[in-house]
Amino acid sequence: MPGLGSRQHFPALTAEPDLVYLDAASGTPCPEPVIAQLTAELRGPAANPGRGGHPWARDALRRFEDARAAVAAFLGASFPDEVAFTRGATGAMAFLADRWGPAALANGGDILYCPDDHLSTVRPWLRLAERMRHQGVRAVAYRRDRLGRIDPGDFARAASERTAIVVATDVHNLHGTRTELDALAIPPAATVCLDCSQSAGRLPLRLADSRAELGVVSGHKMFGPPGTGMVYVRRDQHHRIAVDRAAARSGPARHVSPLTDAAEEGSLDGAGAAGLASATAFLDTIGLDRVGGHLATLATRFADGASRIGGVTLLGPPVDAGRPHSGIAAFAVDGQLGADVAFALEQRRVYVRAGDHCLNGPREDAVRVSFHLYNDENDVDRLLQGLAAAAERD
């Protein structure tokens, strides 16, 4: 069984033992079982899944549907046909806004969104609101504070009986905060679209039990192959999906659901799907409760250490060590650009994320670290040492 805090199953990490990789929120290295699965797919019969009636094509399609069932179970969907494979979370969100949104908003209504969320989460809905402005569709903002928390009062002010869709982020990509949907006054008739890019693979997730009818997931942030992802649409929302029957016929000869007809037009990425399914099996052998607990330990150690370094400000709420945590944390160093801090850490072989963080507006000071199951306390200490040295330079 893969051990928490061990690099053992990650060839990219064992190849560079002195490297501290703290950018899992951008992309996770692939573990051995995923690499083995991808290799097996590429070495095996090369048929296009379902394109053709011969045994290779049929078998490839069967493996693709097995992969769907596996990831749907991992996400806690009620039925496999509620999940389709996409090219990452960006593609999944654009799909929802383009192919589910227009019917959902045909009679007008408000799209509630947070301008402080990832551009991939927000932009498709803003484009849709602009396109449907003349049909009475508006984009209405709710905000986060500097630590990434949503103020339920501010949310309640933005929500109304006009609210048709609430676009929410499960775990914020910079602050690492989890959105408590139950604490928000979401109008009962509104549909909730949840971006789970930073929660899937880090924290327990059961979409069927959540308030969300729609969801997106990024495969390469949860040990899947690069450029993979998933879109979730609960069955009772399938009737709103615009299916292009002719385009659907460009895919495999099969009908699973309106969701898969629309989201999986053209040739299927059989290797990507199988790789992603094996990533879910890998995570299941460890258990997401344990992953979230491990990440809470690392995040607590980091927050404790960083709060003792003069000039460092944490950009997230206090970590509750007793609860699973996303393992994502952000900070700023007084008087320094995030890019300079990241470069100073990089010199010490500690890789973190700086830049605009795919958010709207300037974040020049913010640095993000994102731990995952292969990180250990020594990695946190290497980060803290580098940070103390960087803060001293000021």
Binding site for ligand PLP (CB under 6 A): 88-90, 118, 120-121, 169, 173, 195, 197-198, 218, 229, 358
Of 122, 247, 257, 253, the C-alpha closest to 193 is 122
Cα-only R_g, the chain: 21
- The DSSP code for 51 is S
CB 335 to ligand PLP: min, Å? 28
Helix (H) or strand (E) holding 110, with range, is strand 109-113
CB 376 to ligand PLP: min, Å? 24
Closest CB to ligand PLP among residues 202, 301: 202
Closest CB to ligand PLP among residues 248, 277: 277
CB 384 to ligand PLP: min, Å? 24
Closest CB to ligand PLP among residues 89, 329: 89
Closest CB to ligand PLP among residues 225, 292: 225
Closest CB to ligand PLP among residues 120, 278: 120
| Beta carbons within 8 Å of 332's beta carbon, 6+ residues apart | 312, 313, 315, 338, 365, 366, 367
CB 201 to ligand PLP: min, Å? 12
Which residue's C-beta sits nearest to ligand PLP? 88
Helix (H) or strand (E) holding 84, with range, is strand 83-86
CB 150 to ligand PLP: min, Å? 14
Instruction: Count the alpha carbons within 13 Å of 305 in the hemisphere toward its beta carbon.
Output: 20
Q: Are 338 and 367 in contact (CB under 8 A)?
A: yes
Closest CB to ligand PLP among residues 169, 280: 169
Q: Is the dihedral of CA 216, 218, 343, 376 positive or negative?
A: positive
CB 198 to ligand PLP: min, Å? 5
